[in-house]
């Protein structure tokens, strides 16, 4: 008797989200899967997961030396930083974190942040992810101006939370962008937020979920289980959670004491966290250390059979 592996067939699929304008240097698509991560025998996986290089608008003074040393003087200038990402490390996407809008990091104006975002987009033309400083009130004042400055570039902008989604949703709807919907490791909140955003007129095909994951050793297994539950529900036909995932790996990893032991261990910690999240269904990984990014990009190529 010949034993054969059980093949699961799903009724649903993950929405495909496009980032980047057609006339720019590059366009990336994420999502579109008809099966669980990397189970090619069970369904189509049209798009590989993507890695975005994180770039700040200001010098990240609180980054550990083990991470800052990898970028050196480039950290003082977002244009030089982005240029290193593109020319030295062949970045396919940039994630601009507008941390400088926060009072603790310089209190940059909305006009300055919009000018910077537009300048980076114009110079490099890569698909862009843009996120605020984390203060809801400040982000509500700043991100609409940034969204307008990037009109027509089909960026991914975030983050929208359950109690703070209307302003950013309206801006993305007006300017043709997709949105990051942030939920605190809770599948029910993720589902509800997607419904609220789509009720305002933004299609589900322009929503990416940020499940707010943790780093390796810091609640990663719980985040994994939530992402897995959402993906199973989506593939079973629930379109309200059938959005791609974005995971801010570098942001979580480089806060941990384990990542600061040595540059080598920090790279391993970031790469291993990313590798685990790929198996949970991550479609976009926002990362910081170039050596970790290189390892993860190679890992993705191996998983995709390239």
Q: How many CB atoms lie within 10 A of CB 61?
A: 9
DSSP 161: B
Structure tokens at 148: 């307008």
pLDDT band at 21 (very low <50, low <70, confident <90, very high): confident
Sorted by sequence, the CB contacts under 8 Å of residue 104 that are 6+ apart come out as: none
Kindly report, residue by residue over 240-295, the tens digit of the pLDDT: 999 999 999 999 999 999 999 999 999 999 999 999 999 999 999 999 999 999 99
> What's residue 8's pLDDT?
87
Query: What is residue 1's predicted lDDT score, i.e. its pLDDT?
Result: 66
Position 2 scores a pLDDT of 66
pLDDT per position as a tens digit, 215-238: 999 999 999 999 999 999 999 999
Nearest-angstrom CA–CA distance, 153 and 202:
16
DSSP 14: P
pLDDT in tens, 125-164: 999 999 999 999 999 999 999 999 999 999 999 999 998 9
Q: Spell out the domains of the chain, with CATH numbers in brackets.
A: 17-303 (3.20.20.20)
**How confident is the model at residue 7, as a pLDDT?**
85
Average pLDDT over residues 45-59: 98
* Prediction pTM value: 0.96
* pLDDT for position 248: 98
pLDDT tens per residue, range 63-90 = 999 999 999 999 999 999 999 999 999 9
Mean pLDDT value across residues 43-62: 97
- State the pLDDT confidence band at 37, using cuts at 50, 70 and 90: very high
- Residue 68's Cβ-count burial label (10 Å; 0-12, 13-18, 19+) is middle
> So what's the pLDDT on residue 24?
63
β-pairing, 28-31 with 16-19?
antiparallel
Token code pair at residue 245: 């995932």
Instruction: Report the percentage of the chain scoring pLDDT > 70.
Output: 97
Query: How high is the mean pLDDT of the chain?
Result: 96
H or E segment to which residue 160 belongs: strand 156-160
């Amino acid at each position: 008797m010949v034993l054969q592996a059980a093949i699961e067939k799903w009724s649903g699929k993950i929405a495909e989200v496009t980032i980047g304008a057609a006339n720019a240097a590059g366009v990336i698509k994420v999502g579109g899967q008809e099966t669980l991560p990397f189970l090619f025998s069970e369904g189509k996986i049209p798009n590989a997961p993507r890695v975005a290089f994180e770039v700040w608008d200001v010098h990240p003074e609180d980054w550990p030396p083990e991470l800052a040393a990898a970028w050196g003087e480039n950290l003082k200038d977002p244009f030089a930083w982005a240029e290193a990402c593109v020319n030295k490390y062949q970045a396919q996407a940039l994630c601009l974190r507008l941390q400088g809008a926060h009072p603790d990091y310089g209190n940059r104006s909305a006009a300055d942040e919009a000018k910077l975002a537009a300048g980076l987009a114009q110079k490099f033309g890569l698909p862009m992810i843009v996120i605020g400083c984390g203060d809801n009130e400040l982000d509500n004042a700043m991100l609409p101006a940034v969204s307008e400055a990037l009109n027509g570039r089909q960026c991914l902008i975030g983050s929208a939370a359950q109690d703070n989604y209307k302003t950013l949703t309206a801006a993305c709807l007006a300017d043709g962008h997709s949105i990051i919907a942030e939920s605190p490791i809770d599948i029910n909140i993720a589902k509800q937020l997607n419904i609220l955003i789509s009720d305002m007129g933004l299609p589900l095909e322009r929503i990416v979920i940020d499940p707010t994951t943790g780093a390796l050793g810091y609640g990663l297994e719980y985040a994994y289980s939530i992402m897995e539950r959402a993906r199973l529900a989506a593939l079973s036909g629930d379109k309200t959670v059938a959005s791609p995932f974005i995971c801010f790996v570098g942001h979580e990893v480089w806060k941990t004491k384990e990542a600061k032991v040595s540059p080598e261990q920090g790279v391993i910690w970031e790469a291993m966290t990313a590798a685990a999240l790929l198996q949970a269904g991550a479609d976009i990984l926002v990362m910081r250390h170039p050596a970790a990014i290189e390892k993860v990009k190679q890992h993705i190529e191996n998983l995709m059979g390239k």
